[in-house]
Structure 1
């Protein structure tokens, strides 16, 4: 996007952020409308500049901020998350943790697990277990779609048991 912005407008992202800051606009939609009307931006580039100006895109946030924001209003889920991380970390030191806006991807060579605080009372653990049958708590991927093959819904720390950790380890091994 940044390269395309420079090609299309002759100005860098940094230049456009300065242009927007001079307007003193501080609302996402107002910035988009301004860039479209006054500078002929397409929606995509206007949105990109607005996100970067307001530092509201995930690329402008550090990992700890992304994780902190995921659990705002869902603090009671934090112990479940911590127990999952503790268990997963024991599998090896070749795991990359990649926070996103609403979830945390666990990656070896490929993503093998996704931890998402789905509601105020539940974490959805997505797993990539190709070829494994659904059984009991190991259900269909549900809202994860093709990102994961299975989902485990967790509402208490006690549910992060040996069975769940075995499924995660199996996904971890498949991703290596």
Structure 2
């Protein structure tokens, strides 16, 4: 979005931040309403500008800190994450790791995997396939909705096995 900001809104992100810094608002919605009403900015760009201005988006937080915070109180799951992370990033130099507040997205041309510590005892691994049947272990996407087509629930590191690694590789290849 930042790359298109100047073309679509007439100002750079830095110019929008300077403008917002002069406003008396304190709430996210107030900044957004101002941008939309006074400057005709679309909802998506208004939200993006406001998040960046308030440094409330994931990109304004250190990626390592985001992952550390995901596993606070869930430290027993971190080895599962580490094994998944290592396996996924070894698929190719084109894998983009994008930590968010509650999950880590793995992308190439599109997201193909999402790692989320859903409970204190379980990681949900979301995978996105073009057309793959669901099975006993390879469930429907569940809480991921349309972000993923399938979900695998992981409670132990040994569940990151050859079968799972093949599914991850297949999702990666389909995303390319």
Q: 1:119 — aligned with what? A: 119
What is the CA deviation profile of residues 6-56 of structure 1, one whole-angstrom value per residue up to 9, with x for unaligned ones? 99xxxx665577668xx9xxxx76x978xx9xxxx9xx8xx9898667644
Are 1:129 and 1:174, in contact at CA under 8 Å, matched by a contact in 2? yes
Q: 1:61 Cα deviation (Å)?
A: 0.6
What is the CA deviation profile of residues 118-158 of structure 1, one whole-angstrom value per residue up to 9, with x for unaligned ones? 11111000001121111121000001111110000000101
Q: What is the CA–CA distance in structure 1 between the aligned matches of 2:74 and 2:107, rounded to whole Å?
A: 24
Query: Which secondary structure state, in structure 2, belongs to the residue aligned with residue 64 of structure 1?
Result: helix
Q: 1:132 — aligned with what? A: 132
Are 2:17 and 2:49, in contact at CA under 8 Å, matched by a contact in 1? no
Structure 2 unaligned blocks of 5 or more: none
Are 1:99 and 1:105, in contact at CA under 8 Å, matched by a contact in 2? yes
What is the CA deviation profile of residues 94-120 of structure 1, one whole-angstrom value per residue up to 9, with x for unaligned ones? 101011111111111111100011111
- Give the paired residue count: 164
Q: 2:107 — aligned with what? A: 107
Structure 1 unaligned blocks of 5 or more: none
Find out whether 1:143 has 2:143 as its counterpart: yes
For the structure 1 residues 54 and 92, does the alpha-carbon distance in structure 2 shift closer, same or farther, using more than 3 Å as the test? closer
TM-score (norm 1): 0.73
Q: 1:160 Cα deviation (Å)?
A: 0.6
Q: 2:72 — aligned with what? A: 72
Q: What is the CA–CA distance in structure 1 between the aligned matches of 2:146 and 2:16, rounded to whole Å?
A: 34
Please give the residue correspondences for 1:2-17 in structure 2 after superposition, counting only pairs within 5 Å.
14-15=17-18
Q: What is the CA–CA distance in structure 1 between the aligned matches of 2:98 and 2:48, rounded to whole Å?
A: 22
Q: What is the CA–CA distance in structure 2 between the aligned matches of 1:159 and 1:97, rounded to whole Å?
A: 22
For the structure 1 residues 6 and 175, does the alpha-carbon distance in structure 2 shift closer, same or farther, using more than 3 Å as the test? closer
Q: 2:174 — aligned with what? A: 174
Are 1:17 and 1:49, in contact at CA under 8 Å, matched by a contact in 2? no
